[in-house]
Structure 1
Amino acid sequence: MTTPDGGATRAAPAMEEEGAARTAPPRKEAARPARRGPADPVRTLMHHHQELCARAVDALEIAAGLEAHGVTDRTAARFRHRDVFSLAEELYARVPRADPATTAAAAPGPAAAPAAARGSRSVRGALHLLPGAVCVAAVAALASVGAAPADVRTAVGAAGGVLVVLAVRLGVRSGPLRRRHQGAGPRTAGLWVCWTAGYAVYGDWLLRQLLAGGPDLPYAAPRAAVATAVALAFALAPAAGCAHWFAVRGRRGLAASRGLGELAARVRPLLLATTLLFLGALVALLLGADAVFGDDGTMAVVAAAALGVLLFLARLLAVHGFPEAAATGLASAAALEALALSLVLIARLPGVPPLGLPVEALATAGGPAAVPAVACTAAALGLLVHGLRALTGACAHGPAPSCPAEAHRP
């Protein structure tokens, strides 16, 4: 049996140990190594997009490539990430980069880059102004042979038209209007461009002749809308400037966005502002050309402005990886214009005169230019609506090699 003093003596150490245990901070458990393997949901994605991740210069390029291949924010959530950008950052951090020696050899030297850029900008600016200059020269050449035989005037006009087409082709193959994405796209897109542009120059005269019962070929001399032709030819320069502005702002929006929804909220007003900016420049060109070469009428200005916006939106979509949509918009406008001419001709057959009444009513109300105005406005609005959806994705603003946008965007 112990004494009270002895019991207190033995209990003191126990109480001290208990108090020390209470006051001592809890020991942290050793951090477990992250499990990689079957429990790592990102590994499969790494192997599937190995080349994209290895060649990317930053995480934004990977995000654009993932979004182009159908990876959305909802898909990223299955990989334990809040959005595509967060998932791209992990892939960029985990996948080793490609051989830097190859990349450095392919990159231009820093000293030569500014001078080369200034020279290339000057050349591109000249190429974008070349169609307008060639068109003015062709108009001057036609005016100089006004008293020549019809065959001579036809040959001069045809030569001028071919030169303008070649100048436009050179202009759209350089600078901001050059297509960056792989793939040839529809081969008929050039045909629709030529049709709509040709109709803008000669379509009003042809429709007026058809409604009057003509034309009396081969004696009828076509009357070209000179002011419209010159303004559209010079419009390539502001189109290139607006396309460059949209591309730069779009890349900045991609860099500043943390999700696809935020990127879409940045790009939609940007696309509307770019379209309005080009429309304002085009209207100024049309009014200036009317003052110099003769007024073609208010409705002709509206029709030419609608065609210019249609061509601009089509090229913008093609540049950013959507050539199929661009060709569809151009083909729809060309089809409506061809349908109007066809209905007037078909109405001459016995028993079907009512088929030409809609075209006659439209031409009576607004003039022959009302037909291309309606056709091009409808097609341009369709491309604008599609662009507000298609150009809001990361793939539309990412580097071209990793972004097959047309195959994966709606």
Structure 2
Amino acid sequence: MTRQESVAEAAAEGGGALPGATAGLPQGSPRTPATPDPVKALMHRHRELCERAVDPLEIAAGLEAHGVTDRAAAQYRHRDVFALAEEMYARVPRGDDDSDDGPHPGTAARAHAVPEVAARWALFVLLPGAVCAAVVAGLGVVSGGARLGVVVGGVVAVAVALWIALREGPLRVARRPAPATRAWVCWLLAYALLGDALLTSALAGGPDEAGELWRPATAALLALAFAVAPAAWCAHLFAVRAGARLRTSRGLDEFAASARPLLLGVVTLFLAALGALLAAAHALLGAAPDGTSALTGAWALGALLLLARLLGVYGFTRAPALLLAAAGACEVTALCLVFAGRLPGCEAAAVPVTAAVDAFGPGAVPTAVCGAAALVLLIHAARTLALASAHAGPGDAP
């Protein structure tokens, strides 16, 4: 007897279907005529999901995505959606591939997918940091007009390296970000490099010349470039561990309860790695323009970018786009308030920014802005990435 037949027989002995029950029946609606096999009707409505599934967990995740909860599964005399999915998976005709001679081909392909993917992107994620380090080293040995050429060439080279690192592996997104989202990300990175110098100069009454703006926080940007590697490995760890827990969970609530601590642990691990990179870059290059102030802003920005990318990997792009735009707009607003405070009668506009910078340094603005946005995204990710439907489905996992 095959595994699927035994599961189906067990479901039948336990009363696998409740005649007359209909999934998704609105409360208070008239009773429909009795259905001989409501599970079969449910399978017909989700025929494509059942046919392409390589294991029951994919059916369970798909049912959850369509609004079938454990309470709805009880209408079919199953304790939860996972048990209902096992019966549906067992009743799908699959030919000779489901014999006892071996596992389903799709399951074997999935089991071997992780090391093959890792072999391709493991080195690519190191490119942004390596290229950025080469650019920083080049700036240290040139002067005059040659510096401008190194800066322009370095920006292009780092952008290409970042594109290569993100086009494959755990940080690859299925849908390309909107141009506005990419523009805000570029602004956030530009502010991390030059924003603190501009803010400090503006509060001092400047800038009077372009040289006052060229005090880049190279240590912060270098650490962020190298942080692409730990971000990819943390995303890979989250995908592997979440998939394993999804396969061993016996209910949607059980999986959600195990996925949230996993997400928090992965984010904490990345923040620790980013903090170590920032400390090493600061010790090697120093941070401009105000000691470690620029590093705290880069630390918060790194958390924001990781969470935004991680949500995008699983198809949740709306919230990251809104929060990235909000963070960038707040940084623009802070600069505008400082310049607006120079107008007659508008001195009060610059008071909040001035007080924050006097107390905590110029890095207080990106730290507060990016930190608040990252916290909101973390709460959102703890809710959405704890859904089984976010992790199942062929090709969805990174």
Question: Normalising TM by the smaller chain, what interval?
Answer: 0.7 to 0.9
Shift of the 214–400 alpha-carbon distance from structure 1 to 2, 3 Å rule, reads farther
Report the alpha carbon displacement of residue 385 of structure 1 after superposing the two structures with TM: 0.8
Q: Provide the residue aligned with 1:96 in structure 2.
A: 93
Whichever residue aligns with residue 389 of structure 1, its letter is R
1:215 to 201, 207, 214: 207
How do residues 71-86 of structure 1 correspond to structure 2 at under 5 angstroms? 71-86=68-83
Alpha-carbon distance in structure 2 between the residues aligned to 1:388 and 1:288: 31
1:144: how far off? 2.0
> Separation in 2 of the partners of 1:66 and 1:109?
23
Question: 1:136-175 residue pairs with structure 2 within 5 A?
Answer: 136-146=133-143, 148-149=144-145, 152-175=146-169
1:237 to 1:349, Cα distance in 2 relative to 1, 3 A? same
Q: What secondary structure, in the 3-state scheme, does the structure 1 residue paired with 2:223 have? A: helix
- CA change 1:129–1:203 in 2 (3 A) is same
* Displacement after TM superposition at 1:399 (Å): 2.5
Determine the structure 2 residue equivalent to 1:55: 52
Which residue number in structure 1 is paired with residue 10 of structure 2?
none
3-state SS, counterpart of residue 35 of structure 2: coil
Name the counterpart of 2:314. 320
Q: State the alpha-carbon separation in 1 of the partners of residues 345 and 95 from structure 2.
A: 72
Map 1:5-404 to 2 at 5 A. Answer: 38-97=35-94, 121-146=118-143, 148-149=144-145, 152-179=146-173, 181=174, 183-218=175-210, 220-296=212-288, 297-400=291-394
Report the Cα distance in structure 2 between the residues aligned to 1:58 and 1:158, rounded to whole angstroms. 51
Unpaired segments ≥5 residues, structure 2: 1-14, 21-33
49 and 185 in structure 1: CA distance in 2 versus 1, 3 angstrom threshold = farther
Q: Cα 1:62–1:187, aligned 2, differ >3 Å: closer, same or farther?
A: farther
- CA–CA distance in 1 between the matches of 2:116 and 2:46? 37
Q: Which amino acid aligns with 2:45?
A: H
**Higher RCO, Cα 8 Å, sep 6+:** 1
Number of corresponding residues: 362
- Contact 1:72–1:84 (CA<8 Å) still a contact in 2? yes
Q: 1:286 to 1:60 in 2, by over 3 A?
A: same
Residue identity in the other structure for 1:317:
L
- Note the alpha carbon deviations across 1:275-328, whole angstroms, 9 max, x for none: 111111111101111111114423322211111111111111111221112222
- The 1:119/1:262 distance shift into structure 2, 3 A limit, reads closer
Whether the aligned pair in 2 keeps the contact of 1:53 and 1:97 (CA below 8 Å) is no
Runs (5+) with no aligned partner, structure 1? 1-31, 404-410
Residue of structure 1 in register with 2:4 after alignment: none
Contact persistence 2:16–2:78 (CA under 8 A)? no
Question: For residues 163 and 185 of structure 1, do their structure 2 counterparts lie closer, same or farther at Cα, with a shift above 3 Å needed?
Answer: closer
How many angstroms does 1:203 deviate by?
0.7
Contact 1:52 1:402 in 2 (8 A): no
TM-score by length of 1: 0.81
Amino acid at match of 2:208: D
Deviations 1:127-174 (A, max 9, x none): 10000010011112222222x23xx32232122112112211211121
> In the aligned structure 2, how far is the partner of 1:394 from the partner of 1:288?
38
Q: Aligned AA for 2:93?
A: P
Amino acid at match of 2:389: C
Worse overlay, 225-234 or 344-353: 344-353
Residue aligning to 1:17 = none
- In structure 2, relative to structure 1, the CA distance for the partners of 1:203 and 1:355 (3 Å cut) is same
Code of the aligned partner of 1:81: H
Percent identical residues: 52
**Could you tell me which amino acid in structure 2 is paired with residue 341 of structure 1?**
L
- Does the CA contact (< 8 Å) of 1:132 and 1:230 recur in 2? yes
Aligned partners of 1:220, 1:313: CA distance in 2, in Å?
34
Between 1:274-283 and 1:44-53, the stretch displaced more is: 44-53
Aligned-partner Cα distance in 1 for 2:96–2:293: 59
Deviation at 1:270, TM superposition (A): 0.7
Contact (CA 8 Å) 2:198, 2:213: kept in 1 or not? no
Task: Tell me the CA shift for residue 80 of structure 1.
Answer: 3.2
| CA distance, structure 1, for counterparts of residue 183 and residue 148 of structure 2 | 21
Q: Distance in 1 between matches of 2:332 and 2:94?
A: 54
**Counterpart contact for 1:65–1:402, Cα < 8 Å:** no
**8 Å Cα contact 2:53-2:393 kept in structure 1:** no
Distance 1:225 1:402, change over 3 A: closer
Structure 2 residue identity aligned to 1:250: A
Instruction: Compute the displacement of 1:262 (Å).
Output: 0.7
